[in-house]
Each structure stands twice: as structure tokens, then as C-alpha cells.
Amino acid sequence: MRKIKICGLFRDCDIDYVNEAMPDFIGFVFAKSRRQVSGGWAEAMRPRLRSEITPVGVFVNQPLAKVARLLNDNIIEMAQLHGAENENYIQQLKTLTNKPIIKAVRVLSQQDIESAQHTAADFLLLDNGTGGTGESFDWSLVSKEKKRQQQQQQKQKQKQKPFFLAGGLTADNLEQAIAATSPYAVDLSSGVETDGMKDRDKILEIVRRMRNG
């Protein structure tokens, strides 16, 4: 069963919505964004979040010490890197924490997906840009890359990194997106919002579809 992440929670009631819906992951955005939250708010919300839901912190080119502290203080359980963090940054972060790392990839071509397979990060997040734009990328690039890797696996036993699919996902296109890309998880933010705020009914509906689909 595909997993689901609801990203960009920034109000107390958003925690109530996800506790009711029970996605697999939620995202706290610590980078500059209209959904940005403070470490203090996330720390206060963490005990309220159901233990079955994994909190992910979203960062853009932020100091290693800040990311590691939020991970090691158990405010978040995974770090999602959405900036220009290179392999050196990821390797250093891995020396500071044993928690999983997601590296976001801006997908403009199949080569972007192929190049990202060599990262030390545990997961990829395939998106059209820096996140939160509400626009999707060309999903056929994922299937092309999967075919390439299947051919490579026969020669080198190379395995594709598990990935979160993000960018423009809504209840209307979710089934199509999953069929086209076979992701480890789907990641929604603006697709479960109304007028820029998380919408309880949309969150419940999207998780219901994922669980029953």
C-alpha cells in the first residue's frame, strides 16, 4: 500500500485534522514559506501528534546543527532537504544523526532522476520545483527512468531509491499519478487546502482514497 504525507501543517487545528485522518507522514516546514513554523511550535505540537504518524521537517539550505538538533531532540523523525544541499552536506548530517534523510529533486528531465539515485539520502522526493507550487512535473519521466533502471539492474543490480511523489497532487489526479509513477509515498500540501489553509474534509478524503484504493 502506498504511503501518504500531508505537508505544511502550521495551525493547531491542522494537528487535529491529521490525527483524525491518520496519514503515514506529516511535514513541518522550517524554511521560509507562508507555511513556515518555528522549532518551538513544532516541539509543542509533537506530543499532540498521534504516535503512528511520522513527523518530517522540511529545510532549505539551513545550518546542519539546526537540522540535527530537531532530529536528535525527537521533534521530527526525518529531514527533508529542499535546497541546494550537496552530498557533502548529506554525509555530514548522517554523522550527526541516524534518522532518515529525504532529498528533494527538481525534475526537469529524466537525467535529474537518474543522477539523484547516487545520493547518500535514504529517500528522494520528486517535485517540479522548490515545493508548494501546486504544479506537477512530467510523470512519464519517472516511468522512463524505471525502465532504464530495470535494464541496468540486470547488469549491475542497481536498485532505485524509494521516492515520495510531490507537486500538484489532488484527489482528482492521485490515482493517475500513482499508476504512472508507482511511488513509495505521495506528498500533498496545497492539494488538501482551501484558500491557503488545510481543509479537514480534503485531508480525510485523500487519506480515505489512499487506504481504500
**Structural domain count of the chain:** 1
Whole domain around residue 179: which residue ranges? 3-212
How many angstroms separate the CA atoms of 147 and 169, rounded?
23
Determine the length of the chain: 213
Residue with cell 507562508: 34
The one-digit pLDDT tens for each residue of the chain (213 residues) are: 899 999 999 999 999 999 999 999 999 999 999 999 999 999 999 999 999 999 999 999 999 999 999 999 999 999 999 999 999 999 999 999 999 999 999 988 888 888 999 999 999 999 975 445 555 666 666 666 566 666 565 555 557 899 999 988 999 999 999 998 999 999 999 999 999 999 999 999 999 999 886
Q: Which three cell numbers stand for residue 66?
A: 539546526
Q: Which three cell numbers stand for residue 5?
A: 504525507
Q: Among residues 44, 37, 41, 39, which one has the least CA distance to residue 7?
A: 37
pLDDT the model gives residue 153: 57
6 forms bridges with which residues in the sheet? 26, 188
pLDDT the model gives residue 97: 97
125 forms bridges with which residues in the sheet? 104, 164
pLDDT the model gives residue 151: 58
pTM score = 0.87
User: What is the greatest pairwise CA distance in the chain?
Assistant: 51
Single-letter amino acid, residue 121 = A
Q: Among residues 125, 146, 119, 136, which one has the least CA distance to residue 174?
A: 136
Distance of CA 80 to the CA centre of its chain: 7
pLDDT the model gives residue 112: 85
DSSP letters along 162-206, please? PEEEESS--TTTHHHHHHHH--SEEEESGGGEETTEE-HHHHHHH
- The domain spanning residue 182 has which CATH number? 3.20.20.70
Q: Vertex 4, ends 190 and 88: CA angle to 5°?
A: 85
Residue with cell 501528534: 49
pLDDT the model gives residue 130: 46
